[in-house]
């Protein structure tokens, strides 16, 4: 078992691999060998062919460190937390809560009831509202696979790989370029292709995600989604708080 800070870490199984590393389930033990629980550890591990594509290992490491720093600075019940990290390791890593699933695969099972869907949408909106309005972060890669499901039906926004701090204009060109060439087409607002990002690009992605959650024929929901995903950013909601206000109104008017 490895030791980090006041914990022993015991890797159990690899959960999945992404483009830039893998996520594994680990057990955490206190130094006197009491089990604290099972967690997820995200590890940066770049395949050789990726290294040939433009960015050096140091640039990938800086991106990962930035991801961990922004995510660790968030403290909200709908944003996945970070507990322990080792960012100067050869393969930097951080430990977060172990998810049961992600929203994408919950949706593909097709078993969510409408009350659950409403509550999931509120949790996503609350998590992103916190990121935008209290942290001034833009997520830039909101999609069902990046919204994780935890026990008791709690959903949390995760994957801060493309997060940008809107107050930090000095963020390096390389890091923003990495952001520009990634992200997921279906959830990308049209202006992203011209390199423009702000909270409205996340609002667009939220609109697409909410459309996919699909809460049915509620009066007002189509207008809500159209306004969130309007082609012109100026026609969209101005903030996630405004989206929440309208969403609550729709739910109330439909007696849900």
Ligand X SMILES: Nc1ncnc2c1ncn2[C@@H]1O[C@H](COP(=O)(O)OP(=O)(O)OP(=O)(O)O)[C@@H](O)[C@H]1O
* Binding-site residues from annotation: 42
Of 169 and 181, nearer to ligand X (C-beta) is 181
Nearer Cβ to ligand X, position 97 or 106? Answer: 97
Shortest reach from residue 153's CB to ligand X, in Å = 16
Task: Provide the minimum distance between the beta carbon of 42 and ligand X in the complex, in angstroms, as a whole number.
Answer: 6
> Is 223 an active-site residue?
no
Taking the CA of residue 189 as centre, how many other CA atoms within 13 Å lie in the half-sphere pointing to its CB? 31
Nearer to ligand X, 40 or 209 (CB): 40
- Residue ranges in contact with ligand X by CB under 6 A: 15-21, 23, 40, 42, 80, 96-99, 102, 145, 148, 158-159, 161
Half-sphere exposure of 105 (CA within 13 A, CB side): 7
The nearest distance, CB 179 to ligand X, in angstroms, is 13
Q: Which of 97, 141, 159, 202 is catalytic?
A: 141
Burial class from Cβ neighbours inside 10 Å (0-12, 13-18, 19+) for residue 169 reads exposed
Q: Which residues are annotated as a binding site for ATP?
A: 42
Residues in Cβ contact with 163 at an 8 Å cutoff, skipping those fewer than 6 apart: 66, 67, 70, 71, 131, 137, 138, 139, 140
Spatial contact of 75 and 50, defined as CB atoms under 8 Å apart: no
Residue placing its CB nearer to ligand X in the complex, 38 or 56? 38
CB of 60 to ligand X, least distance (A): 12
- What's the closest the beta carbon of residue 182 comes to ligand X, in angstroms? 8
CB-CB neighbours of 215 under 10 Å: 23
Residue 98 or 244 with smaller CB distance to ligand X: 98
Q: Catalytic residue positions?
A: 141
């Amino acid at each position: 078992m490895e030791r980090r800070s006041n914990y022993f870490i015991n890797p159990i199984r690899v959960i999945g691999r992404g483009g830039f590393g893998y996520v594994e389930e680990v057990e955490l033990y206190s130094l006197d060998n009491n089990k604290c629980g099972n967690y997820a550890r995200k590890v940066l591990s770049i395949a050789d062919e990726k290294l040939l594509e433009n960015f050096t290992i140091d640039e990938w490491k800086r991106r990962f460190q930035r991801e961990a720093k922004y995510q660790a600075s968030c403290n909200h019940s709908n944003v996945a937390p970070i507990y322990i990290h080792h960012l100067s390791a050869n393969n930097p890593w951080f430990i977060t809560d172990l998810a049961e699933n992600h929203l994408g695969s919950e949706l593909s099972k097709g078993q969510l009831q409408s009350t659950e869907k409403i509550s999931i949408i509120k949790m996503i909106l609350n998590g992103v509202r916190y990121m935008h309005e209290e942290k001034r972060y833009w997520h830039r890669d909101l999609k069902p696979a990046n919204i994780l499901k935890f026990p008791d039906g709690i959903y949390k926004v995760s994957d801060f790989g493309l997060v940008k701090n809107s107050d930090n204009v000095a963020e390096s060109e390389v890091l923003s370029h990495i952001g520009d060439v990634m992200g997921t087409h279906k959830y990308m607002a049209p202006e992203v292709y011209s390199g423009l990002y702000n909270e409205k690009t996340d609002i667009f992605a939220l609109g697409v995600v909410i459309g996919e959650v699909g809460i049915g024929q509620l009066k007002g929901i189509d207008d809500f989604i159209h306004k969130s995903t309007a082609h012109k950013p100026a026609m969209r909601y101005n903030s996630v708080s405004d989206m929440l206000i309208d969403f609550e109104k729709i739910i109330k008017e439909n007696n849900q």
